[in-house]
Amino acid sequence: MQASPKLARTLSEIRDGWIPAAIYSDPDVFEQERRSLFTRTWQFVAHESELPQNGDYVVRNVLNDSFIVARGDDGVVRAFLNLCRHRGGQVCRTESGNTRRFVCPYHAWSYKTDGTLVGVPYHEEAYGSEAELRKADFGLHAPPRIDLFNGLIFVNLDPAARPLADCLGGFATYLEFYFPAPPRRVELRGPQRWRFKANWKIPAENFSGDAYHTPHTHASTGQIRLVSSAATTNRRAGIIYAIDGGSGATFRLDAGDFAERLRSVGYTDDRIAVLDRSLSPALRSLIEKDGVIPSAGTFFPNFSMLHLWARIDDHGKLAPFTTVRLWQPISATETEILSWFVADADASEEFKENSYKAYLMCFGTSGMFEQDDMDAWVTLTRATQGYLSSSVLLNSRMGLKSDGSALHGPVQTFSGPGVAHLGFNEFNQRRWLRMWADYLEMSPPAPPLPEPHPEVGRPKE
């Protein structure tokens, strides 16, 4: 399917950094995203730490597809559609818990936590028993693809999707700052879930590298000294980077060696020792040599992470924290946020609690940073819905001269992989939107459903 002429023009303008305002509220654009983008990108559903025991499950959506992510009796984590193979009832109506069976409330077909059908009431009378209806053929549908990265569980609705590791590419180096490789482990706490009337792309772009909004949007946090100056007023000294499936920003740290720099954002000596042992050479050099530390990042399209620190008491004690979030679209103009707090599993309880307090003060539903982001994003979405306003071309050309050449070249000495730029610019947001435009030009993949997934199987002939 060819993109419509209107969409083709939109995408061409986007590639030049001129953003038709309509993309942040137009239902037709959302429909195209639903069909062409969310059907073939890796979608975060859960983290392994949310499912510590066999039988633990969470229910997560990819747009309107509800998936159960469960740890089976064999300890394996799987995902399957929350849809009874008989008449389509939701076999799980809670959002998390521990169970031995998922039982459809309609006719009571029941499934094990590995998705296999184990109970069909009146099997013999109603269907003529196993010879006529083989239970093995009617397990819950698996999503076409499921893949993991350091405990993060993603699904993909496209059977032909490239592996998750390929899609992450070099971004994995940065993602490991937030989600380190074994033997380190993180635990997720949450999520907080809330809905706000804004398009999902706005936060995804913002986390991909918008350092420019911080001094103004988050001015109040500097005023009350919630954070040190590195996090707000000195943002122009940070470096943004982009590679393969993701991009992000960093904060500039004060002068000092590796340990001093980490201490300056609230890391305790025991945590610094762990980071000293475990950080990859690139991440270590980022802190030690380049003098920056990762802040926000987005793995295309809608999975974002953030690292920051805050003063958590009257004595000025600093605590760093990490959060990860999913920007889950509800419609063109509404998004549900799932926001988790992330802690190193082996950190002391005191460190975790301090870190958690810093998170709640800064991000999430009540966070003093996030509150103001929400407000800007809601007004943007509302403002773009007019007949006239929807046709305005928004300027996303920061860091470019009028002839399209870069105002400043990339940072040559950056320790991390990918292309890096210093200070305020919109290289990452333009890159994110170009990736978005590439997907929107693709025809929707043939839906793998209602054809049953081969691993689950239809009745044998």
Partner 1 sequence: MSPQEAGERPILPFDHPMHLAAHRFLVREAHAQDRHDFETWLTMMAPDVVYQAPVTATTGAGSHKAGEMDHFAEDLYSLRMRVARLKSNLAWSENPPSRTRHFIANVCTCATAKPDEVRVWSAILVFRTQGDGSPDVISGMRDDVLRQVGDELFLVRRMVSLDEAVLRTKNLAIFL
> Residues 114, 72: contact at Cβ < 8 Å?
yes
The answer to whether 156 contacts partner 1 (rule: CB under 8 A) is no
Look at the block and give the residue holding tokens 């899609």.
Answer: 167
Question: E-assigned strands of 178-280?
Answer: 186-196, 239-243, 246-252
Helix (H) or strand (E) holding 177: helix 171-178
φ, ψ for residue 217, nearest 5 deg: -55, -40
Would you count residue 95 as binding partner 1 (CB under 8 A)?
A: yes
Beta carbon nearer to partner 1, 254 or 313: 313
Q: Which is nearer to partner 1, 114 or 370 (CB)?
A: 370
Measured distance CA(139)–CA(244) in Å, rounded: 36
Give the residue, chosen from 312, 318, 326, 456, that forms a contact with partner 1 under the rule CB under 8 A.
312
Count of Cβ atoms closer than 10 Å to residue 350 Cβ: 10
Q: Which amino acid is at 293?
A: I
Q: Which two tokens stand for residue 210?
A: 């918008």
Question: With binding defined as CB under 8 A, does residue 94 bind partner 1?
Answer: yes
Choice from 360, 380, 392, 393 touching partner 1 (CB under 8 A): 360
Q: Is 229 in the site for partner 1 (CB under 8 A)?
A: no
Q: Does 308 bind partner 1 (CB under 8 A)?
A: no
The full DSSP string for 38-74 is TTTS-EEEEEGGG--STTEEEEEEETTEEEEEEE-TT
Q: Which is nearer to partner 1, 73 or 257 (CB)?
A: 73
CB nearer partner 1, residue 190 or residue 445: 190
Q: Between 325 and 344, how does the x/- string for binding to partner 1 read (CB under 8 A)?
A: -----------x----x---
**Distance from C-alpha of 255 to C-alpha of 419, rounded to nearest angstrom:** 24
User: Taking the complex as a whole, how short is the minimal distance between the CB of residue 73 and partner 1, in angstroms?
Assistant: 17
Kindly report the length of the chain.
461
Q: Which is nearer to partner 1, 53 or 94 (CB)?
A: 94
The smaller minimum CB distance to partner 1, of residues 366 and 391, is found at: 366
Shortest distance (Å) from residue 418 CB to partner 1: 32
Least Å distance between CB 43 and partner 1? 18
State the minimum distance, in angstroms, from the CB of residue 224 to partner 1. Answer: 5
- Please tell me whether residue 124 binds partner 1 under the rule CB under 8 A: no
Q: Which residue in 166, 260, 313, 455 binds partner 1 (CB under 8 A)?
A: 313
61 touching partner 1, by CB under 8 A: no
Q: Is 129 in the site for partner 1 (CB under 8 A)?
A: no
User: What residues from 375 to 394 belong to the interface with partner 1 (CB under 8 A)?
Assistant: 375-376, 378
Residue 92 DSSP symbol? -
Q: Which of 53, 64, 223, 413 binds partner 1 (CB under 8 A)?
A: 223
Maximum Cα interatomic distance, the chain, rounded to a whole number of Å:
77
Token pair for 346: 């082996």
- Asked if 196 touches partner 1 (CB under 8 A), the answer is yes
Dihedral pair phi/psi, residue 285, rounded to 5°: -70, -30
CB of 355 to partner 1, least distance (A): 12
Helix (H, G, I), strand (E, B) or coil at 231: helix
- Which distant-in-sequence residues (6+ apart) come within 8 Å of 201 by Cβ? 23, 24, 436
Q: Which of 224, 387, 401, 450 binds partner 1 (CB under 8 A)?
A: 224
Packed helices 427-441 and 201-209: angle between N→C axes, nearest 10 degrees:
140
For the CA atoms of 33, 36, 41, 45, the dihedral, rounded to the nearest 10 degrees, stands at: 60
Residue number with CB closer to partner 1 (143 or 364): 364
Give the residue, chosen from 49, 99, 150, 233, that forms a contact with partner 1 under the rule CB under 8 A.
99
* 296: Cβ contacts below 8 Å, ≥ 6 apart: 206, 207, 208, 209, 210, 248, 249, 304, 305, 306
Is residue 439 a contact residue for partner 1 (CB under 8 A)?
no
The residue among 352 and 453 lying less far from partner 1, judged by its C-beta, is 352
Question: Is residue 6 near partner 1 by the rule CB under 8 A?
Answer: no
- Told to check if 417 binds partner 1 by CB under 8 A, we report no
Alpha carbons 149 and 134: distance in angstroms, whole number: 35
Positions that interact with partner 1 (CB under 8 A): 93-99, 189-198, 217, 219-221, 223-224, 226, 312-314, 336, 341, 356-357, 360-361, 364-366, 368, 370-372, 374-376, 378
